[in-house]
């Protein structure tokens, strides 16, 4: 019988963290899952040794491919997934033991929910917390409101075509969630700290995304320009966001637009 969940883990030279990540997965209260690790062209000898060892374990599949960055690795893993739901997870992060069960329960009773996420707790080089909003398409107009590590219906993943593999510098998860919420589907937020996000010196966000933020935003807006125009027209005409799930006041939207147009918001 196929597993309920496929955990897809891209790995590029992260062998030092993988054993802990796999160990944390064994603590999930929902145990119907397979683990797919995608070796995205790792060059580190220790990582390759760890991957070889993990490949001998039951319920773990290790796939090898040339380096293509996160989007390519996630999509490659999903091609081999047998589960109804995809739990996207980075090689150095982990979920609270209750996350799989809580996420599956939500997906089973909410047909318009395509993704389940939670609050985030940072550890490693940086500590702190983050509270993404999730929600509908309006929530994703100006910023990403869901981390890449989340649970997604596989049928929706396939429907939107997975991640945009041309986005190698970051924000590929933001663009992915735009395409999902454009289908009138929503991202359900569990208001609990269920994702533990490790901060390291090789962070894509710090090293690639932030330095190229303007270029990445330009790409997203250009790719979805008709949708942005429609949404902004609606916001301006209605003078408010009528989707209560968005929790964004019109005054806040106008301030964001004004600041961006005048160059005050980067």
Report the pLDDT value the prediction gives residue 151, as an integer from 0 to 100. Answer: 98
Pairing of strands 113-124, 5-11: unpaired
Of 3.40.50.150, 3.90.550.10, 3.40.50.720, 3.40.140.10, the CATH number of 5-261 is: 3.90.550.10
pTM: 0.87
Report the pLDDT value the prediction gives residue 245, as an integer from 0 to 100. Answer: 44
Report the pLDDT value the prediction gives residue 253, as an integer from 0 to 100. Answer: 58
Domain ranges of the chain: 5-261
Contact 31, 3 (CB under 8 A): no
Pairing of strands 113-124, 186-199: parallel
Report the pLDDT value the prediction gives residue 229, as an integer from 0 to 100. Answer: 87
pLDDT along the chain (266 residues), means of 10: 96 95 97 97 95 95 94 97 97 97 98 98 92 92 93 98 94 96 96 93 70 88 91 71 48 58 48
* 191-227 core/surface letters (b: 16 or more CB in 10 A; e: else): eeebbbbbeeeebbeeebbeebeeebbebbeebbeeb
Report the pLDDT value the prediction gives residue 121, as an integer from 0 to 100. Answer: 97
């Amino acid at each position: 019988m196929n597993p309920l969940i496929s955990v897809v883990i891209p790995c590029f030279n992260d062998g030092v963290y993988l054993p802990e990540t796999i160990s944390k997965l064994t603590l999930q209260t929902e145990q119907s899952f397979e683990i797919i690790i995608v070796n995205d062209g790792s060059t580190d000898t220790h990582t390759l040794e760890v991957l070889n060892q993990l490949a001998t374990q039951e319920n773990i599949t290790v796939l090898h491919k040339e380096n293509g960055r996160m989007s390519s690795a996630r999509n490659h893993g999903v091609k081999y997934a047998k589960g109804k739901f995809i739990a996207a997870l980075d090689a150095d992060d982990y979920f609270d033991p209750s996350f799989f069960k809580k996420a599956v329960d939500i997906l089973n009773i909410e047909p318009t929910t395509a993704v389940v996420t939670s609050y985030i707790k940072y550890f490693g080089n940086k500590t702190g917390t983050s509270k993404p909003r999730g929600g509908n398409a309006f929530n994703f107009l100006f910023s990403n409101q869901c981390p890449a590590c989340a649970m997604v219906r596989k049928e929706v993943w396939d429907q939107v075509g997975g991640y945009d593999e041309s986005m190698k510098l970051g924000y590929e998860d933001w663009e992915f969630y735009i395409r999902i919420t454009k289908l009138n589907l929503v991202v359900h937020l569990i208001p609990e700290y269920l994702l533990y996000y490790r901060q390291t010196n090789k962070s894509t966000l710090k090293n690639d995304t932030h330095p190229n933020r303007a270029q990445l935003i330009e790409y997203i807006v250009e790719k979805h320009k008709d949708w942005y125009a429609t949404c902004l027209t609606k916001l301006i005409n209605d003078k408010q966001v009528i989707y209560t799930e968005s929790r964004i006041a019109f005054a806040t939207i106008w301030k964001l637009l004004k600041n961006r147009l005048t160059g005050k918001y980067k």
